[in-house]
Amino acid sequence: MDKKTEDFYERLKVELDNSNTWPAEYLFKFIVPSVNDNVERVENAFNCMGAVIKTTKSKTGKFTSISVDVTMKNAQEIIDKYQEVSTIEGIVSL
């Protein structure tokens, strides 16, 4: 992980800790290309966590937006999830 990415996650952790009381509900939002198993891979990352997952395909069908509403234990768990799904080709975290 490069320095810029490390700094981003460190700032995110501080912001999450300052704005939440743990455990807390957190809404992840992603956009992925609608190819291969991208949507399934995001869904599997939140498997067995009691997450509510909503998917919506774009008008052209090339992309899928994914909203994941889930209770997270702490800020580090949120960062770990972002890092886990960051390996999916073309994913955009919002």
Local structure of residue 40 (DSSP, 8 states): H
What is the DSSP annotation of 7-30? HHHHHHHHHHHHH--SSEEEEEEE
Residue-wise pLDDT tens digits, 26-83 = 999 999 999 989 999 999 999 989 999 999 999 999 999 999 999 999 999 999 999 9
Residue-wise pLDDT tens digits, 19-28 = 999 999 999 9
pLDDT value of residue 2 = 84
pLDDT value of residue 48 = 87
- Report the alpha-carbon distance of residue 83 to residue 9 in Å, rounded: 9
The pTM of the whole model exceeds 0.95: no
Angle at 93 between CA 25 and CA 33, to 5 degrees: 125
